[in-house]
Amino acid sequence: MVIFFQQVLNGIMLGAVYSLFALGLTIIYGILKIPNFAHGALYMWAGFTSLFLVINFHTNYWVSLLIGMAVLGLVGVGIERVVFRPLREQPHINSFIGAVGLIFVLESLSLIVWGPDFRRFPPLYDQTFNIFGVTITLERLLVIVAAILFIILLQLFIKRTWMGATIEAVAQNPEGAQLVGISIDRVSSLTFGIGIALAAAAATLIAPVFLVYSTMGDMPNLKAFVIIIVGGLGSIPGAVIGGFMLGLIEALGGGYISTDYKDIFAFGILVTFLTIRPTGLFGKGVR
């Protein structure tokens, strides 16, 4: 049972980060109705940005997290304006090609700027807690708490603020929102910036636990698409629940079966859900 609860704790940590990452992808899809395949590359840049601030400027880790979110959020606004907005009225394949091209640009730039080496954050906290035989480091505990806090803040922003209401309005009915005076361009830029900022938060939270490298966003990107398909495209609750489900299954499968196959579990879940419920947990069928 100790091993079981240890893996559950690891799964909750992974699930919190996966949910945060997938939330950014979900709200972008809800507005633009296109999958941002470059989400993982921007996640990678956030990890390097925070690492650069901590190592070179001795910035406090939490301050670097907020700076990274702000910087990548602004980058996201620029990308929406330059790459995706001109393609809004074009066939979706054009946006797909644009996103794939953006991946190559961002990953190539990372190799030029940061190099191909794997890098590690300096140790942040060395405290550990032992609860009924289950050991957790303060570092991992803070990852869980911070990720859940960001998820709650996003939900409050969407449900309790005027700007959040405009985002929901555009996601549900763009034409109707435009008729009542809501700027689609402004909402699209804001949403893209928020989505990338959430990915930046996820990258900075998980980076001290793992490593920072030029392709660190590739696998989380694929898993995020699994999460939003399992949860239902465009569903915020679905992204959260799907993220925690994937984290728990991955941790338990890696602990009891083999860590060599932990990444396969995500795609096993996808195939199962597409077979049983193609619309996902909270998705709506086409009438």
The answer to whether position 249 is within a domain reads: no
The confidence band for 287, taking pLDDT boundaries of 50, 70 and 90, is very low
Within-domain flag for 205: yes
At residue 216, what is the residue type?
M
The answer for 122, left when phi > 0, alpha when psi is -120 to 50, beta otherwise, is beta
160 inside domain: yes
Establish if 271 belongs to a structural domain: no
- What is the arithmetic mean of pLDDT over 137-153? 92
Residue 152 lies in a domain: yes
What total of structural domains would you count in the chain? 1
Give domain status of residue 256, yes or no: no
Say which residues have a Cβ less than 8 Å from residue 236's Cβ, sequence separation at least 6.
23, 26, 27, 154, 155, 158
- Looking at residue 286, what is its pLDDT? 41
253 domain residue, yes or no: no
**Residues contacting residue 213 through CB under 8 Å, at least 6 positions apart:** 44, 116, 117, 118, 119
Give residue 58's domain range. Answer: 12-216
Cβ partners under 8 Å of residue 52, min gap 6: none
pTM for the model stands at 0.91
Rounded Cα–Cα distance for residues 225 and 171 (Å)? 19
Q: How many other C-beta atoms lie within 10 A of the C-beta of residue 257?
A: 12
User: Does the pLDDT value for residue 212 go beyond 90?
Assistant: yes
What is the token pair recorded at 147? 């990720």
For the segment 111-122, what is each residue's pLDDT rounded down to a tens digit? 999 999 999 998
* Whole-number pLDDT of residue 283: 67
Asked whether residue 18 is domain-assigned, the answer is yes
pLDDT of res. 267: 78
pLDDT confidence of residue 279: 77
Query: Does residue 177 carry a pLDDT above 80?
Result: yes
